[in-house]
Amino acid sequence: MDENTGRESVDVVQGGTRCVGCGYAIDGLPEDGVCPECGIEVERSLKGELMLKASPEYLAMLHRGSVLTLTALLLQLLNVFASAFFGMAFGMMGYGPVVSLLLVFAFVQFGLGGLFLLGWWMLSTPLPSLKDAPQANRARVWVRWLLVASAVLLGVRAGLMLVLSMGGVWLDPISMAMLVLVLVAWLAGYVTQMLYLAWLARRVPDTSMRKRALLLAWLGPVVFIVGAPLLFLGPLVAVVMYWNLLDRFRQAFKRIRRERLRQDKAAKG
Ligand SMILES: [Zn+2]
């Protein structure tokens, strides 16, 4: 806030203020107006709807969601490695592919995929004070729609896998087409997740986390695809970058929850 000019124009927003709903620069707008982009009252942006002021339930939900997402992702990675290891080991011992074992790994992966989606569902809980303005954060709504789409695809693929394993070879083309759909849902889901995390970073608030999320929104897919032919190094690097960013959010949620608890105690005592 500029102390020198503030007196003459108290009714106009200044100081580089951004809308709490959508991040639109609202400088110059009347303080009793609404954001032209998402319709949220300017007054709410002036108070700043930071995470520290959000309800403990909301904070707990985000924190648990991030823990679940990270855990599921790590276990999925381990499962992929274990499946590749056992596949190679059996190959070296002269066995053909052990279908039943590969099926077990595949179904563990489906289960972990479900947990991952559940974690993200928790992570994309609406900020209670913005519940009445779903247009305030379109990325969050898209994250959830794509989670639903991914869950449906996951279920259909698991079913297909089961039928294929019982000898329904005629389903192979459908299975391949499903894989393409899954990749599209993944990519779209990933990008919207990054945009949502960039929005969330503003509530933390943390500029470097916001910049990282916006960077990864395009860098992640590029590294994933370009590096895919290099022994799958690209996808691995992309997953590690994704994991690191989510972990920074987990730490931030934990820190904010602790700070919030401390404040509440101080207020009571
Ligand atoms: Zn707005």
Query: Given this model, what pLDDT does residue 132 score?
Result: 64
d(CA 183, CA 73): 17
Any domain includes 252 = no
Any domain includes 262 = no
Query: Given this model, what pLDDT does residue 73 score?
Result: 97
Cα atoms in the 13 Å half-sphere on the side-chain side of 155: 6
- Residue 245 in contact with residue 197, Cβ under 8 Å? yes
Which residue range(s) make up the domain with 118?
Answer: 51-237
- Residue 54 in contact with residue 208, Cβ under 8 Å? no
189 and 112 assigned to the same domain:
yes
What residue ranges of the chain have pLDDT lower than 70? 1-10, 48, 96-98, 131-136, 168-169
Cα of 136 to ligand 1 centre, how many Å? Answer: 6
Query: Given this model, what pLDDT does residue 142 score?
Result: 94
Ligand 1 is an ion; residues with CB less than 5 A from it? 19, 21-22, 24, 35, 37-38
Cα of 144 to ligand 1 centre, how many Å? Answer: 20
Query: Given this model, what pLDDT does residue 175 score?
Result: 79
Query: What's the domain count of the chain?
Result: 2
Query: Given this model, what pLDDT does residue 1 score?
Result: 43
Query: Given this model, what pLDDT does residue 186 score?
Result: 92
166 and 150 assigned to the same domain:
yes
Q: How many CB atoms lie within 10 A of CB 108?
A: 16
